[in-house]
Amino acid sequence: MSTKADIRTVALVTGASRGIGRAISLRLAESHDLVIVGRDEAKLSDTADSCTAAGASVQTIPVDVQDGLATAKALTGMHVDVLVNNAGVAVLKPFLDMTAEEWNRQVNVNVNALYHVTRAVLPGMVQRGRGHVCIIGSTAGRNTFVGGSCYSGTKHFVMGFAESLMLEVRDAGVGVSVITPGSVATELFPEGTNTAWMLEPENIADAVAFAVTAPPHMLVHRLEVRPLSPKRPRDSF
């Protein structure tokens, strides 16, 4: 007979086919069953195989979270205990060099998809009186840089959205966290960039796991994770 300790909670991770999303999925597979979402069905399947090997039951949902109707159809009513809004894109270039398509894609993925995904599964959390929404932000959400007019703007939105949502749903037993990484060695950076000093995706996955497994009465709302020094490669420690 199963006991409460045997029951694995369900985590949904967006952008799970690669990079930080894949690392988060693998980390949470140790303690959660998973619903993993992404556009690349083949890479999503590869992530699922690795998570299954780690002990999780995995459901894959190939959907573009920019598409509100498709996302609502795929996710509405699904039982989710932990939501990790990880999907994100960046086009780092001066404003006058940025196309409307590049601008809109960043807003659609980094901002609008937060509504589509969270709106689909949050009502169930509130109804059950428990749950956790974790959003991957960025230190660009509290600073600015040349070439970040859109990307930094979307990450500033994440910070405001996360805190407002936290205040709205905490009395219903739902926590909201935002993880704000510094530079992470992913495909975000152009080929040839020195990433040897940067954080690794697994570091962000550990931060997510820390936030979503905190005691029920404790909320880790904002967690900033940085490389120690851009002058020291990771393997020098």
Place of tokens 């694995």: 8
| Bridge partners (DSSP) listed for residue 37 | 14, 61
Q: What is the pLDDT of residues 160-202, one digit of tens each?
A: 999 999 999 999 999 999 999 999 999 878 788 899 999 999 9
Structure tokens at 159: 């910070």
Cα-flanking dihedrals φ and ψ of residue 212, to 5°? -85, -10
Which run of H or E residues covers position 117? helix 113-128
Percent of the chain exceeding pLDDT 90 equals 92
Q: Is the pLDDT of residue 9 over 50?
A: yes
**Which whole number is the average pLDDT over 89-103?**
96
Determine whether domain 4-236 maps to CATH 3.40.50.720.
Answer: yes
In Å, what is the CA distance from 148 to each residue of 88, 154, 183, 216? 14, 9, 14, 36
> Does pLDDT of 5 surpass 70?
no
For residue 187, the 8-state DSSP code is T
**Strand 222-225 and strand 82-85: pairing?**
unpaired
7, pLDDT greater than 90: no
State the pLDDT at residue 92: 93
DSSP code for 220: -
* pLDDT reading at 223 higher than 50: yes
Tell me what pLDDT residue 231 has.
94
**Given 75, 151, 155, 179, the catalytic residue:** 151
Query: Hey, how many other C-beta atoms are within 10 angstroms of the C-beta on 227?
Result: 20
Identify whether 115 is a catalytic site residue: no
Question: ∠46-24-78 over CA atoms, to 5°?
Answer: 80
Tell me the domain boundaries of the chain. Answer: 4-236
- Condensed to tens digits (0 to 9), the pLDDT of residues 203-219 reads 999 999 999 999 999 99
Q: Give the pTM.
A: 0.94
